[in-house]
Structure 1
Amino acid sequence: MSQDPQPGAPHDPVGEVLRLLKSAAGPANPMVLLDGPPLSGVSRSMYEALQTQLPHARLHQLTAGELADACTGPDTSRLFFAPGHQCVVWLDGLSPADLVLLGQGFLDQVLPQALVMASVNSAWRERILRDRSTLTAPARTVLLEYAQRVSVPFTMTARERSYLRENGFPVSKGLAESLVGGENLIKHYRRAGWENRDGRLLVEAAVDVRRCGIHRPLSEDELHQLWLARCADGSDPRFQQALEWAGTAPQNASMGLLYPAARTPSRPAGGWRVLAYAAGADDGDHGHRARPLDDAWEQVRELLTGADDQYALGVAAHLHGRGGTARAALADAVERAAPEHPIADAARSALHCLSPDDLG
């Protein structure tokens, strides 16, 4: 469905993105940041605007870490050079750690060569802007000085509601949320507390990884270990049944709570992503009851031990006021990353910003 209810109106994020993209032909490319809650339609808004304004652009979908790696390579321009084409970098679902990393000077290298489009969850953005520490200062620089923000509203216009009804979709809270059956998925998730405890524990474990600041896909083995941390008497067959339940779309929904991630050169195995809308519900979005993270911080720190994960966990823990976890995770990231890797530098800088009162 084309989203152009009233061009130029506040509810028209595609029109706002189009306005910003018109400056893409100039010497300084913009960074366009789409800001909205999960399932507000930020990705659809990006693709629709890009197809309208820059249909022949060369699109690179990267993570912030992959972009930083590219910038430290011998010839950054090779990634973005496409004769006769505008290059666009799409950074989808930035975590707090991603924003801190991007603020380490990498955008200065990329924006002369490529347009950067990105998305961020509104809740993370607000939490970062409320934080006044030097640790998150690079992220605030990105949000306030580099990014031209486009807010993607969750509410629907009357036209969008009519479109859903005419095409047989359930009309719920938001457009993208209605298209995938977001509220039905949350009801399915909540009912699993007594209908499918193993499946519920698996989804909770994956949701909490995202709530702890780690937005990447999870491998089946990682999901298994996270599940066992909450279901100590679990067997392999029970885990497989739980994974099948979590990945199956329930009635009146078009996807599962867990869904296969796209394969990329950096992640050839793909893995599983968790529905970000479920993570938002557990954080208290849209009137849902928030679920405490409790022991999840330490479970995630013990089981996802890679430098990238520890760095992401450390930044998110700091934003949640968990200084000890932040210090321990950032120290692990420094120790486990290659000495000259961008993550090592970012984690080292973040660690130095922590207060001496933040004991490990």
Structure 2
Amino acid sequence: MLLVGESTAGKTRAAFEAMRLLLPDYSFLAPSTREAVEVLLEDWGAIGDCVVWLDDLERFLGPGGLTLSALHRLLAPHPRVVVLSTMRSHEYNRYRDRAEHDVTGVEQDVWRQGRSVLRQAQVVQLERRWTVPERARARVLVADPRLSRALAGGERFGVAEMLAAGPELAQAWQHAWVPGHHPRGAALVAAAVDARRAGYHRPLPADVLQRLHDGYLARHGGPELRPESFHEALVWALAPTVPAGANSLLLGDAAQGYIAFDYLIDLPAQEPILEAL
């Protein structure tokens, strides 16, 4: 079984919860490296009902790891062994037939071995954005404030994406105020967040955001923070949480303007909105 989806779609958590619900009595085996797959097979005859957990499957593919032969050795003697794995869409697409011309020589043989393994999988595509029925079922659990905030983010972002990226973004924003890190970037985010807290839920032009952020930078120490340039601050604030991820502290571009990420608006214990804003 292979769950495929974008970063922060909730693949790992969905797979883990499904395993916990449906196979509670199975043993759990999680090789830590590609080479550990071969080590696992050395004593495979003594294994009973179990789940072999391969999170980020691409890490285990190739020589010395999970080849088609190794997969057959995992499954053939044990009809009640489940290989449960996850893979980001970007990595999965690297093994589609039309990608074969991108690899040559020895790498092509490795690629073909990986594709052979993936062709044996029952693939479940996990969408980043939840369906209307899924969101309706989640609303039953809105007593959990984290889930409530994620659902309130609208349908632009996935609920799992909000849950996964939100806390990390909040920590990155807090840490950015440290002198010499990204204090001007943190001030840009603070200005954009407070614009939304004040009721302005449209993107801000770059020149407006540049004027608004000065007060926030001054409130935290001004020049003593050793702030970076405006360009560097904007690049940092727009950087995705994870490679190829969709969430960043600020969203938008120079043409349409910039808006603060939804999750940040409802964080507790925020400072008062500056009168100048």
Give the TM-score normalised by the residue count of structure 2. Answer: 0.51
What is the aligned counterpart of 2:54 among 91, 97, 107?
Answer: 91
What is the aligned counterpart of 2:38 among 68, 76, 84?
Answer: 68
CA–CA separation in structure 2 for the residues paired with 1:155 and 1:175: 7
Cα offset for 1:98?
Answer: 1.9
CA–CA separation in structure 2 for the residues paired with 1:91 and 1:199: 36
| Cα 1:196–1:69 shift into 2, 3 Å | farther
Provide the residue aligned with 1:177 in structure 2. Answer: 161
Contact 1:92–1:118 (CA under 8 A) maintained in structure 2 = yes
CA–CA separation in structure 2 for the residues paired with 1:280 and 1:106: 36
Contact 1:160–1:175 (CA under 8 A) maintained in structure 2 = no
What is the aligned counterpart of 2:73 among 97, 109, 125?
Answer: 109
Cα offset for 1:60?
Answer: 1.2
Q: Which stretches in structure 2 are left out of the alignment for 5+ residues? A: 184-238, 251-277
Provide the residue aligned with 1:147 in structure 2. Answer: 121
Q: How does 1:283-302 map to 2 (within 5 A)?
A: 283-286=243-246
Contact 1:99–1:139 (CA under 8 A) maintained in structure 2 = yes
Provide the residue aligned with 2:172 in structure 1. Answer: 189
Q: Which stretches in structure 1 are left out of the alignment for 5+ residues? A: 1-31, 201-278, 290-360
Contact 1:59–1:88 (CA under 8 A) maintained in structure 2 = yes
Q: What does the per-residue CA deviation read over 1:304-341, in whole Å, with 9 as the maximum and x for residues that have no partner?
A: xxxxxxxxxxxxxxxxxxxxxxxxxxxxxxxxxxxxxx
Provide the residue aligned with 1:52 in structure 2. Answer: 21
Higher relative contact order (CA 8 A, sep 6+): 2
Contact 2:31–2:40 (CA under 8 A) maintained in structure 1 = no
Aligned-pair RMSD on alpha carbons?
3.3
Q: What does the per-residue CA deviation read over 1:23-74, in whole Å, with 9 as the maximum and x for residues that have no partner?
A: xxxxxxxxx0111223322233223322333221112122343122222x3x
Cα offset for 1:148?
Answer: 0.8
| Cα 1:188–1:62 shift into 2, 3 Å | same
Q: How does 1:298-337 map to 2 (within 5 A)?
A: none
Contact 2:54–2:86 (CA under 8 A) maintained in structure 1 = yes
CA–CA separation in structure 1 for the residues paired with 2:38 and 2:44: 10
Cα offset for 1:160?
Answer: 5.1
Provide the residue aligned with 1:122 in structure 2. Answer: 89
Cα offset for 1:178?
Answer: 3.1
CA–CA separation in structure 2 for the residues paired with 1:175 and 1:92: 21
Cα offset for 1:90?
Answer: 0.9
Cα offset for 1:122?
Answer: 1.6
CA–CA separation in structure 2 for the residues paired with 1:122 and 1:139: 15
One-letter amino acid of the counterpart of residue 93, structure 1: D
One-letter amino acid of the counterpart of residue 286, structure 1: A
- For the pair shown, which has the larger CA radius of gyration, 1 or 2? 2
Matched, 1:162 2:139: yes
Q: What does the per-residue CA deviation read over 1:223-277, in whole Å, with 9 as the maximum and x for residues that have no partner?
A: xxxxxxxxxxxxxxxxxxxxxxxxxxxxxxxxxxxxxxxxxxxxxxxxxxxxxxx
Q: What is the SS of the residue equivalent to 1:105?
A: helix
Cα offset for 1:147?
Answer: 0.9
Cα offset for 1:197?
Answer: 5.0
Give the TM-score normalised by the residue count of structure 1. Answer: 0.41
| Cα 1:47–1:193 shift into 2, 3 Å | closer
CA–CA separation in structure 2 for the residues paired with 1:87 and 1:197: 50
CA–CA separation in structure 2 for the residues paired with 1:123 and 1:190: 27
CA–CA separation in structure 2 for the residues paired with 1:131 and 1:44: 29
Contact 1:38–1:280 (CA under 8 A) maintained in structure 2 = no
